[in-house]
Amino acid sequence: MDLSVKIGTLQLRNPVLTASGTFGYGTEYADFVDFSRLGGIVVKGTTLHPREGNPYPRMAETPSGMLNAVGLQNKGARYFIDHIYPAICHLPTKIIVNVSGSSIDDYVAVARMLDELEHIPAIELNISCPNVKQGGMAFGVTPYGASSVVRAVRNAYSKTLIVKLSPNVTDIVSIARAVEEEGADGVSLINTLLGMAIDAERRRPILSTVTGGLSGPAVKPVALRMVWQVAQAVSIPVIGMGGICSATDAVEFLLAGATAVEIGTANFVDPSVSEKVADGIADYMARHNMEHVSDITML
């Protein structure tokens, strides 16, 4: 049985990755996950300069989901390269860095720095984070904005370039087509859906930023629909995510046309879920007499 998949030149042993911002730098989960059983780890969003993120409270649980407004807290690309990369570059799985920025120049600068790192075979460009007041959102919500940043990064980055799409748009297909046109090797979706929670007794919003990003099982049907639409419209691989908690959930995304999946919020509920999903996909293939994981896709 062959579970390996390819995105650009990135070769994954199986289609299961962990989603950015939900799995730290991997090491936080060392007690729970055998990394050699994962396709890869997408590490926390990294920006050119350090960011303190948004004030507390940054999290609100909502029915079957959660809102977050972390705001891309990270120590910056230089710190990542000098202090974090050495500690994770030899983990027995593929390490992908999620890149964020508030200007095209910032994205390009980080992409250039990461291009030099031998053990980072791919980046995931976050053009969709809804938490950041400038940047983030602005690029991902129009085909023009998405094209401009992807074009610039494509020129600066030689390895596999995955572009992570925002679901907070009217027509996600047009954005996916635009980034394919500019040379993206794959697209991943969905990032969090913009939402809000209010504390009725205290009569105020729960999050310090008022609005935040919704994730978890609550978003799965929306995510599946978007993955299905995008997979039909582009010929580059699609990485699906949004509410995946089990192998069955993951298989549904593969059926909708995804080449691989990422697991986010579910890691908080069951810290070893990613490994279980990878095993469960293999069981599914065995039950359905499938040779290769791409046989699952129904499109």
Partner 1 sequence: MKVLDLIVKESCAVSATSVRMVLTAHDTLPDMQPGQFVELRIDDTPGVLLRRPISIHDYDKESNTLALLVQRVGKGTAWLCSRQAGDVVNAVLPLGNGFTLPSEGAPCSPLLIGGGVGVAPLLFLGRELCRRGIVPTFLLGARTSKELLCKDLFESVGTVYVTTEVGDEGVKGFVTHHPVLSEGDFNAVYVCGPKPMMQAVVTMARAGEVWCEVSLENRMACGIGACLCCVEDTLSGNVCVCKEGPVFNIDRLKWT
Ligand X SMILES: Cc1cc2nc3c(=O)[nH]c(=O)nc-3n(C[C@H](O)[C@H](O)[C@H](O)COP(=O)(O)O)c2cc1C
Query: Helix, strand, coil proportions of the chain in percent (round to 5)?
Result: 35, 25, 40
- Least distance to ligand X, CB of residue 123, Å: 11
The region that residue 26 occupies, defined by phi over 0 for left and psi between -120 and 50 for alpha, beta otherwise, is left
User: Of partner 1, ligand X, none, which one does residue 33 interact with (CB within 5 to 8 Å by kind)?
Assistant: none
| Strand (E) or helix (H) holding 6 | strand 5-7
**Residues interacting with ligand X, by CB under 6 A?**
19-22, 44-45, 68, 70, 72, 98, 126, 129, 164, 191-192, 215-216, 219, 241-244, 263-266
Pick the closer one to ligand X by CB: 13 or 220: 220
Partner from partner 1, ligand X, none binding residue 186, C-beta < 5-8 Å depending on class: none
DSSP codes, 259-286: SEEEE-THHHH-TTHHHHHHHHHHHHHH
Decide whether 63 or 235 has the Cβ nearer to partner 1.
63
Check if the beta carbon of residue 229 is closer than 8 Å to that of residue 238: no
Active-site annotation holder among 12, 16, 120, 129:
129
Applying CB under 8 A, which of residues 39, 46, 47, 58 lies at the interface with partner 1?
A: 58
263 binds, among ligand X, partner 1, none (CB under 5 to 8 A by kind): ligand X
Edge to edge, the sheet with strand 211-215 lists: 59-62, 65-68, 211-215, 193-196
What's the CA gap between 97 and 276, in Å, rounded? 23
| Residues binding partner 1: number (CB under 8 A) | 34
Of 15 and 216, the one with the shorter C-beta distance to ligand X is 216
Helices (H), 161-272: 172-181, 220-233, 247-255, 266-269
Is 129 in the active site?
yes
**Contact residue for partner 1 among 39, 40, 65, 195 (CB under 8 A):** 65
CB of 130 to ligand X, least distance (A): 9
Residue 271 in the binding site for partner 1 (CB under 8 A): yes
d(CA 34, CA 56): 32
55 binds, among partner 1, ligand X, none (CB under 5 to 8 A by kind): partner 1
* Sign of the C-alpha dihedral computed for residues 164, 166, 51 and 16 taken in this order: negative
Exposure on the CB side of residue 157, measured as CA atoms within 13 A: 36
Would you count residue 217 as binding partner 1 (CB under 8 A)? yes
Whether the Cβ atoms of residue 224 and residue 253 lie closer than 8 Å to each other: yes
241, interface contact from partner 1, ligand X, none, CB < 5-8 Å by kind: ligand X
CB of 30 to partner 1, least distance (A): 9
Single out the residue of 6, 8, 49, 73 in contact with partner 1 (rule: CB under 8 A): 73
57 binds partner 1 (CB under 8 A): yes
Residue 298 C-beta: closest distance to ligand X, Å: 22
How far is residue 267's CA from residue 90's CA, in Å, rounded to a whole number?
A: 22
Structure tokens at 279: 């095993």
Q: Which helix (H) or strand (E) holds 153?
A: helix 143-156
Shortest separation between residue 295's beta carbon and ligand X, angstroms: 24
Question: Does 100 participate in binding partner 1 (rule CB under 8 A)?
Answer: no
Q: Which of 66, 88, 190, 261 binds partner 1 (CB under 8 A)?
A: 66
Give the SS3 label for residue 40: strand
Task: Give which of ligand X, partner 1, none residue 244 binds (C-beta under 5 to 8 Å, depending on kind).
Answer: ligand X
Q: Which residues are catalytic?
A: 129
